Chains A and B, each alone.
Chain A
Amino acid sequence: MEVTTERLKRCDVVKATGRIDSQTAPQLQDAFRRIIDDGRFRIVFDMGGIEFVSSACLRVMIDAQKTCKRWNRGELVLASVPQRIHQALDLAGFVPLFNFFDDPVKAVGSF
């Protein structure tokens, strides 16, 4: 699993590839945490390269969303979500909790 963070003017873009499971979810959590610790709360999560997620990933995502949305200071939005991942989010009842974009450019543009 690879996680990269790109800092843009209005937001940060986190891109992850591969599997996000109990082993690799902490790396994703670290990426979100570093952004939040810098006082930045607008995050695009580019999920285009993700092949598999378990509830370990969903836990990291929901924690980040709660923090970012606190006091309306920002949010975590999702871009390029593969169908398989969307199905997992749906099964968890998470779809209504996030804004989805077809690609990261549109997601960045929303901020």
Chain B
Amino acid sequence: MDTEQTTSFPGRFDSLAAIGEYVTRAAEAAGLDARSVEGVELAVDEACSNIIEHAYGGEGRGHIEVTCRIDGDGLTVVLRDYGQPFDPDRVPEPDLQAPLEERDAGGLGLHFMRQLMDQVRFEFTAGAGNVLTMVKRREVSS
């Protein structure tokens, strides 16, 4: 039973809790296990935080369209914004072995998204906004 729903949220940090609830419900409806549901919530939070901070350059400058699509494989979340595009390949992977003094939180959001989701795809279209597609597949029990 395939379903798809889109909701638009203000590009503000106080939208994050509502966005989290929205994708959590979709992830549960998609039949994902509890840990995967938590992973989806975190990955989407990181992505939306990045959209507000980097694509829009701050709060209150645009909205985020969140689409949740459930199909036979699992859950697809699509985030669309109309801010500045960026090059994900230019974000360095965090150094997970560095000593404390050299550690920071830079690049952690993208790192979480890539670790927690099965697929992360960025598309930057001129005029139709930035589209981030993330997929989490249902675990098939053997």
Which residue of B20, B41, B45, B104 is within 8 Å of A59 (Cβ)?
Answer: B104
Contact partner of B97 among A21, A58, A88, A93, CB < 8 A? A93
A8 within 8 A of B: no
B25 smallest CB distance to A (angstroms): 15
Q: Does A52 count as interface, using CB distance less than 8 angstroms?
A: yes
Q: Contact between A23 and B100 (Cβ–Cβ < 8 Å)?
A: no
B93: min CB distance to chain A, Å: 11
B13→A23 contact, CB < 8 A: yes
How many A-B Cβ pairs are below 8 Å?
Answer: 74
Interface residues of A in 1-38 (CB under 8 A from B): 19, 21-23
Cα distance, A23 to B9, chains bound together (Å): 15
A52 adjacent to B20 (CB under 8 Å):
yes
B residues contacting the other copy or chain, number (CB 8 A): 28
Residues A55 and B52 in contact in the complex (CB < 8 Å), given A23-B14, A84-B38, A92-B94:
no
Contacts of A22 in B (CB 8 A): 13, 16, 45, 49, 52-53
Q: Which residues, 60 to 102 on A, are CB-close (under 8 Å) to B? A: 62-63, 65-66, 69, 84, 87-88, 91-94, 97
B7 contacts chain A at the CB level, 8 A cutoff: no
Q: How many Å lie between the Cα of A52 and that of B41 in the bound state?
A: 9
- Cβ 8 A contact of B49, one of A21, A92, A93: A21
| Consensus secondary structure, chain A interface | helix
Q: B22-54, CB under 8 A of A: which get 1 and which 0?
A: 000000000000010010011001100100110
**Contact-residue size bin, chain A (C-beta under 8 Å from the other chain):** 20 to 34
A54 close to chain B: CB less than 8 A: yes
When the two chains form their complex, are residues A66 and B100 in contact, meaning their CB atoms are under 8 A apart? yes
Find chain B residues with CB under 8 A from A69 CB.
100
Q: Which of B75-83, B105-113, B118-126, B127-135 is near enough to bind chain A?
A: B105-113
Which of B14, B20, B38, B105 counts the most A-chain CB atoms under 10 A from its CB?
B105
The complex places the Cα of A22 from the Cα of B38 at a distance, in Å, of: 17
Say if the beta carbon of B1 comes within 8 Å of chain A: no
A109–B70 alpha-carbon span in the complex (Å): 49
The 7 closest A-B pairs by CB, nearest first: A93-B96, A59-B105, A23-B13, A55-B108, A22-B49, A22-B13, A54-B45
What is the interface of chain B, defined by CB distance below 8 A to chain A? 13-14, 16-17, 20, 35, 38, 41-42, 45-46, 49, 52-53, 94, 96-97, 100-101, 103-105, 108-109, 111-112, 115-116
